[in-house]
Structure 1
C-alpha cells in the first residue's frame, strides 16, 4: 500500500519459528499477460549465504502464521503523524515569500513534497482500517503538547514575521527540531508495542530514514547560515 513498486517485499520473521528457518519474503506480482491472474503470492525462503532462495509450496505457505494485525498504537501513530506533518507543511508554505537562501527554498520544497505524499499514504492507511482521519488543522486543537518537536503558536508567529536571513535561520532551526520530534514519535510507536503490522513497520522505518537524512542536510545548512 505504501509503495508504487511493482513488487512488494515484506519480511516475515515469525515464519522462522513456524518452520525453523531464518526468514521469509512475501512477494506479490501483478500479471503481465491477460491469461495471468491479477495477483499471485509467492513466499520465498532465502538460502544460505551465496545460495539461491526457495519458493515455498502452497502446503508450506499454509503453515505460516498470518502477519500481525494493526494495533491502537499504530492508529494513534498515523493520526498524530498526520497532524505533525500538517505543521511542517504550514512551515514550508511560508518559505516562498520570506526566504533569502536558494538552498532553504530547495530543501523546503523537498520536505513539502515528501510530507504531502506521506500524509496521503497515512490517510489511506486509516481509511482502509476504518479509523478516523484527522482534519488538516488537528494540531491546533490541543495536540501540540503531546507531539514532540511541535512549534508553539508563539514560535509560528515568530517565523511568520521573520524575513530574509533571519527567516532562513529560524526555519532551519525549527525544522530540525520538528524532524527530531518525528524520530521520537517513531521510537514511541515501537515502545508502545506498535509497528508489528508489516505496512505500519515499513512506513515508520521510511519516515525515520527520510527525516534522519533531511536532518543532516538541515544541520549542514544551519552551519552555513550561522557561520
Structure 2
C-alpha cells in the first residue's frame, strides 16, 4: 500500500480543529518561555504503514483533498459486500444454538447495516447515483474479494448445527479478509485521500481485523 496524503497533525499547545479535514494538535514543550514551541508536522500513512514528517515547504503545498474515482469504486463495491454479510447473518436464526455465534452475527448485522447507510449517504452527498446493478444489494455482477459464490451461499443455507457454525465462521472470515483486501486496493490505487473515505476505510480495516481474530478463536475452540 502506498502511503496516503490525508490528515495533517501539527504540534504546538492545546487542540484546534480547522476546516477541510485538517486537524491541528498543539502541546507545550521544554523550550524557554521567550521562544515559540517547535512545530512537528506528521502525515499519517495508510493503515499499517508509517507516517512521514512534512517540511514547511511540503505544508505550503497541502490543499484539502477531494474524493477520487478509487473512493467511489471502493464505496460502490463495499455496499454489496456488506449486503451479503447481512444475508449471511440472516441465516443464523434457526440454524444454530451457539450463543457466541448468535451474538457475533448480531454485532455484524448492526454494524454493517449502519455502515451501508453511511456509504449510501456518502454517494448521495457527492452526487453519485445509488441505483443500478452495482449498488445497494448483493446481486453484484462481479463478486468483490471474499464474497460467497451462489454455491457457497446455498451450502451455508442448507447446513445446521455444528456444521453451520463451522461454515459460517469459515466463510465470514474469508468475507472479512476480502474487505481488508478492498481497503488495500483503495490506497494502492490512489484513493483514501479524502478525509471521509479515509476514516471509513480505516474503521473497516480495524473493526474487521478484530472480528477476524475473534472468529478464528471461536473456530479453534470448535476443534
Instruction: Compute the TM-score of the two structures, normalised by the length of structure 2.
Output: 0.75
Structure 2 equivalent of residue 27 of structure 1: 17
Select the structure with the greater relative contact order (CA < 8 A; seq sep ≥ 6): 2
Q: Residues of 1 paired with 2:205 and 2:29: CA distance? A: 29
Cα distance change of structure 1 residues 165 and 53 upon mapping to structure 2, 3 Å threshold? farther
Q: Residues of 2 paired with 1:207 and 1:171: CA distance? A: 20
Over aligned residues, Cα RMSD in angstroms? 3.0
How do 1:82-161 and structure 2 match up within 5 A?
82-134=79-131, 135-137=135-137, 139-144=138-143, 147-161=144-158
Structure 2 equivalent of residue 77 of structure 1: 74
Cα distance change of structure 1 residues 72 and 213 upon mapping to structure 2, 3 Å threshold? same
Unpaired segments ≥5 residues, structure 2: 1-5, 32-36, 40-59
Q: Once the two structures are superposed, what CA deviation does each residue of 1:71-122 show, in whole Å capped at 9, x if it has no partner?
A: 0000000010001000000000000111121111000000111101111111
Q: Are 2:7 and 2:23, in contact at CA under 8 Å, matched by a contact in 1?
A: no
Instruction: Compute the TM-score of the two structures, normalised by the length of structure 1.
Output: 0.74
Cα distance change of structure 1 residues 42 and 100 upon mapping to structure 2, 3 Å threshold? closer
Unpaired segments ≥5 residues, structure 1: 1-9, 29-38, 55-62
Displacement of 1:49 in angstroms is 5.8
Q: Once the two structures are superposed, what CA deviation does each residue of 1:144-194 show, in whole Å capped at 9, x if it has no partner?
A: 1xx110100000000000011110110000000000000000000000000
Q: Are 1:46 and 1:53, in contact at CA under 8 Å, matched by a contact in 2?
A: no
Q: Residues of 1 paired with 2:38 and 2:178: CA distance? A: 39
Cα distance change of structure 1 residues 97 and 53 upon mapping to structure 2, 3 Å threshold? farther
Count residues with an aligned counterpart. Answer: 188
As a proportion of its length, which structure holds more helix?
1
